[in-house]
Structure 1
Amino acid sequence: MFPTRVYHYRDPAAVILGLKELRKQGLTPRGLLFIGLDPRGETYIAVPEDLDAVVNIRVGDKMSLISPLEGRYFNFDAIHRLPGDTVLWNGDRRLSDTGSAPEVACAISEWLKGSSAKNVFLGCSPHVPGSWWTIDHVSAVTELHMLGYLDCVVTSSGILARKIDSTKLYHLEFSALAQHGTPTEGWQEVFTSELGNILLTERRVLNYRLVLTCERGLVEIDVSHLPDLVIETARVPMRSGFGVVGRIDGGAFAVTSGIVEPWGLTNMSPAMLVGSPTESLLELPRTLRAMPLED
């Protein structure tokens, strides 16, 4: 879609300095396209070659990009700065093996704070998903996937997550997180899919709507009444292996494809932007069924 440039930083301290310099050149969170770590824990950040183009980049555009990082790189999917400046991130489960992921996530979170941003969403890459939370770079890290929670999405009142190999969606209120001081307790079941296990959650809430990719189709939910109520607003039964990872204002959905497994959608491809003039999931089936799946 546009040329990219990859910056290499050997340690988290270099990430902090490098991002500060790139901000001076015009980089904003919109321009962070991919963030990956290699097995040694060194960081690689892909940004547009032309930083003047950053203002035109949408979340859906990022998700449709092919990563310029080829080889053994373990990518972040999203990094969130939560109330109290704690940090939540999703990504390749092998990030745990690098040793530097918490420091890098916290460095990115601190950089986001300087841009008055609460999160950054990054491009799609195939991997086994993981989710983590920590207070800061020197504190213990909670591996949420080890508790069964994946694909964490931040709402106005807390954190939503699907449960591995389950039809259930759970919510953790920020007040409960503050009370317990850890996300190991306080999760409440808020929704049950009638289309089988939830395999993937859309990466962000937009206009209080969120799409869940399930074993037998797609479900859109309204989360404006959390923590008390989640309302199903649309249902698209299908068995094609398509999943929604995001959307943009104006109606386009970022649609990926992969292999349906009971625990998740695996081997996901970069997303394609599929238009829907009225922003309705119900208008997508014909277009989605016409899209070829990758072999």
Structure 2
Amino acid sequence: MKKTLPTSLPYNQPLTVLSPATIANLSCGFDVLGLALSGVGDTLTVSLTTNPGIEISKIEGADLPRETDKNVAGVALKALLEAIPDYTGGVKLQISKGIAPGSGIGSSAASSAGAVWAVNRLLGELFTPAELTQFAMEGERLASGAAHADNVAPALFGGITLVRSSNPLDVVAIPCPDALYAYVLHPEIELKTSDSRKVLKTRISLQDGIRQWGNVGGLVAGFFLEDYGLISRSLEDVIIEPVRSLLIPGFSEMKEAALKSGALGFGISGSGPSVFALCQGADNCQRAGAAISEAFEGIGLSFNTYQGPVNSQGVQIVSNE
């Protein structure tokens, strides 16, 4: 369907948004499940310009390319602008990275999703969240070689999302239990998504597949029913975690500490090296987080932590001045 532009556009009026970090996979849901985090994300300032083209004028917090075709936000915006040929102007973009590249909590997704969400807002909200997801997936293709949606979808929809299909794209928003909290520990080492994908098996046994499918179904049902016991039983990954966990120092010790302290489950966030725990309530999250941090401290590596309720909103406006 052709998109009709508003009769007037807010040229040179900056809009600043916070695009959240995300946890992808949620253990059993490789490339299909994800949730948005509170308290950590990328800050992007965008404005429409009368000059055509995409200008990335500043990047803070990471050494990333400013050329449009080499930057995930630039590639995502290019896909969006190509979908509205009647728009003859351009976009100016500034990025402040609050998420370290290669951290496993959706760094590339936050920039891609935040950029297209903000420009869409300035254009009068021409596109749906599902359409924006498709544009942001082009940034993921640049970052990892695969146009996956498990990070960009929760950043744009908020809360928890299920990517039923990537081609054609079919994203389902999943209800999030009110007391669901997440804790993330990010070891200060970089693990590129493209490298982490190389260690994955291309074939699995039927037995493992059946077990994994049951866990995905159980986890989704647990979210709908607010059944924390079912959520806990379903946060099991028998396919990806056994391979990728070998790349993360102290993984088994942290997992044991998390489960002993009462976390619902523990796993790898995205492709790692970040790890996460899901918990019922703020107190349980704080207790599990302390146990996980204590278990990792003996490794001798620096790390950052984040914790809070699931971010139900996704990308949000910080300033429109």
TM-score range, shorter chain: 0.3 to 0.5
Larger radius of gyration: 2
In proportion to residue count, which structure has more helix? 2
| Larger RCO (CA within 8 A; separation ≥ 6) | 2
TM-score computed with the length of structure 2 as normaliser: 0.31
TM-score under structure 1 length normalisation = 0.33
- Kindly indicate which of the two structures has a greater share of residues assigned to strand: 1
